[in-house]
Structure 1
């Protein structure tokens, strides 16, 4: 039986371990959190979701939705369990994070081909090859140093922030309402309306609020902290506001598609809350990742109508994450250019987002199993677009999530193939009014190329 070592039982490591175990590999999975916790994790469960509880859009016509469609074809464990513990969140795939993580943990611990060793790996020399580094953005400092030595480079970092979670019973239902944007049927989100005056009062207080101090280990290099970018999908509200007082209103606090049944006056802005679990006993504040101090969070967020008596089960926080310069250091099969038996997977490779990390773990498993016969998925597909984004050589590499700009552009031949008898020569598909037509064609094209690759596995 072939053997493989995997470091980290996060989303990528868990997915990679499951896929290889299913292929008959003897997997040794190392997870340090039984002995050593990180600044962000709360439990010892595998695949714990530390930021939001959402895996993003699952609509058929979106880039994240296409990524999920492809992952389902590849029998993704993370996706299967996520759907099992899905909570209402409109078109997004949000989960009961506690039940989700417990199920993943149980699934892996019961697998006959997976051996769990709960300890920290401090050096690459401690591992038997082939090995997968899926230790995530909070890789312990000793292993990070070992990786830096192997890669002959300083590690790269970005900041990640977490939104507060509120006890549902503490919400004032006389001031809020349930609804999804532009949807009269589904009612998954709690909506807290803000008048113009309330909105600007909130902005003023956030701008002058005290912020959290960095952990001691993050103070060692103040210049590094100064130049560290933020993870776009978890951008702190303070950073958004720094771009303009109306930035939040045109972002997560947009009132578009929402009508307040308690008032004839149109809301100037709306704060949305999304269920944390299936029983809807707690909600997280959508888009409210923050680095404000804990007392300030309680004071300021209680200014939001409906949250005057909010009981915060968890407050927002911020931590620094690590990723490597994958285009310079990794091959297209996710192996190190210095050692083709050392693979990398997940957020440490420079992908943003829970599901993106999962899919890179899945791809690493395929690459290991196929060995020299591995062929990267085509860039027209979501998997291929994501892989190309982190392995194609580029000057300035920064973390990215899945989006249409990563896909290989449609060619005239693609359009002819997809439209068939409906094809019109020299048709113009540019411009806002043709955006959905382009997206539909891009999704159809992605499915076509992905299935050709999938059938060749």
Structure 2
């Protein structure tokens, strides 16, 4: 008897990865994407796997927890990581992608897979008894949000605690490369990583940095609606003006830090550095790194236009802010990210509080595997806690807090080594080696009953 089909709601990173992993194990999947019929507030295209914020998937090296997470996913034949590596653009030690190439790669593979059927229609309810993966992202429509509230209430697990939470996220501006004055800039990657010149750097002296702080603190910002008065941001992706509000040197020790960016000609280390990174493979579009913002568009043109070399810049996209929704996963989901006490219903991606592109894909991969194994009648299979994949799941399932918040994967989520190692690089290398060994054993069992 063939396995029951799985319905996946949402064609973002988590939904596409969940569909891919389930199909890879031999389960037929119906993947639903609401675009082009309806776009969310942060969408600008109708592509699957659209990257609505940065084009960076962060560090690529195994000494970074997110780098290890990417490698683990790659060893599970991840759709998202494979497509990202194909669409990579130079970004020093990070994995950044050409958005269009990346989305096209994901969409093409989904379309070609014989076990995945893509439905371009909006799902408005969760009453359908079919096994379902909710991977709607952090910006679902009102009808689906109401359906999530209803089904979560049926589980009767959250008590009086809020079942649905939110925070605000923002995106950085993008500009045309041929409109900048590169004579006042220099090309260099921090610590010479990558090809050594993957970033274009705008050096700021004390006066220029002070002017930027003044602009960020005083120019108009988009006001949130009355019902969004509890304006909470994700700490890992704060708006640039919020960082400016927190202190004079916060930006200098954050996205504008000059460490490792000494001027190649003068030998001087600037007071602060604004970096531009390629948005696409040909470098015709550049991202203002770390400048996610909720300044009004006229204020952005004024503040960022005062940066050296950007006086006559052509803005391809100005920064925007949007509200992200997530559920209280530790209270509601089990170790397979399945809603406790309810028919086969899984949650995956940012709706769970898995923050970050790679973390969302990782969450989708695990849910796709769990859902497929259940449909095939196979025994449950837990990802080893030593793996970065295990760390992502553990955060969503075991976090003990009255204020659960989204988080990126970090080494602190991984169990320590049995013998302490003082040197950080060696310690992280040992953690990565242990994780990949554990993953190899897990990967062998994924496709077996």
- TM > 0.5 fold call: yes
Shift of residue 310 of structure 1? 1.1
CA offsets 1:171-204 (integer angstroms, 9 cap, x no match): 1011111110111852100100000110011101
Q: Does 1:187 align with 2:197?
A: yes
- Paired residues, what number? 431
CA offsets 1:348-404 (integer angstroms, 9 cap, x no match): 111110010001100001111222612221211100111001001512311011110
Q: Does 1:129 align with 2:136?
A: no
- Among 278, 302, 307, the alignment partner of 1:275 is 278
- Give the match's secondary structure for 1:34: coil
- 5+ residue gaps, structure 1, are 413-427
CA distance in 1, matches of 2:373, 2:256: 46
**Counterpart in the other structure of 1:201:** 211
CA distance in 1, matches of 2:293, 2:399: 33
Which deviates the most, 127-136 or 355-364? 127-136
**Counterpart in the other structure of 1:420:** none
- Give the match's secondary structure for 1:74: coil
Give the structure-1-normalised TM-score. Answer: 0.91
CA distance in 1, matches of 2:68, 2:23: 26
**Counterpart in the other structure of 1:419:** none
- 5+ residue gaps, structure 2, are 154-161
Counterpart contact for 2:262–2:268, Cα < 8 Å: no
Note the 1:154-193 alignment, pairs <5 A.
154-183=163-192, 185-193=195-203
CA distance in 1, matches of 2:264, 2:306: 20
CA distance in 1, matches of 2:315, 2:304: 10
Shift of residue 250 of structure 1? 0.6
Counterpart contact for 1:4–1:128, Cα < 8 Å: no
CA distance in 2, matches of 1:347, 1:164: 22
Note the 1:333-352 alignment, pairs <5 A.
333-352=336-355
**Counterpart in the other structure of 1:145:** 146
- Among 105, 111, 118, the alignment partner of 1:103 is 105
Counterpart contact for 1:51–1:234, Cα < 8 Å: no
**Counterpart in the other structure of 1:402:** 409
CA distance in 1, matches of 2:405, 2:183: 44
CA distance in 2, matches of 1:112, 1:289: 39
CA offsets 1:89-136 (integer angstroms, 9 cap, x no match): 0111100001211221222123222222222111101x3421100000
Shift of residue 263 of structure 1? 4.2
Question: RMSD over aligned Cα, in angstroms?
Answer: 1.5
**Counterpart in the other structure of 1:91:** 93
Tell me: CA distance 1:404–1:51, structure 2 relative to 1, closer, same or farther (3 Å).
same
CA distance in 1, matches of 2:351, 2:337: 11
CA distance in 2, matches of 1:453, 1:25: 19
CA distance in 1, matches of 2:114, 2:210: 57
Counterpart contact for 1:233–1:353, Cα < 8 Å: no
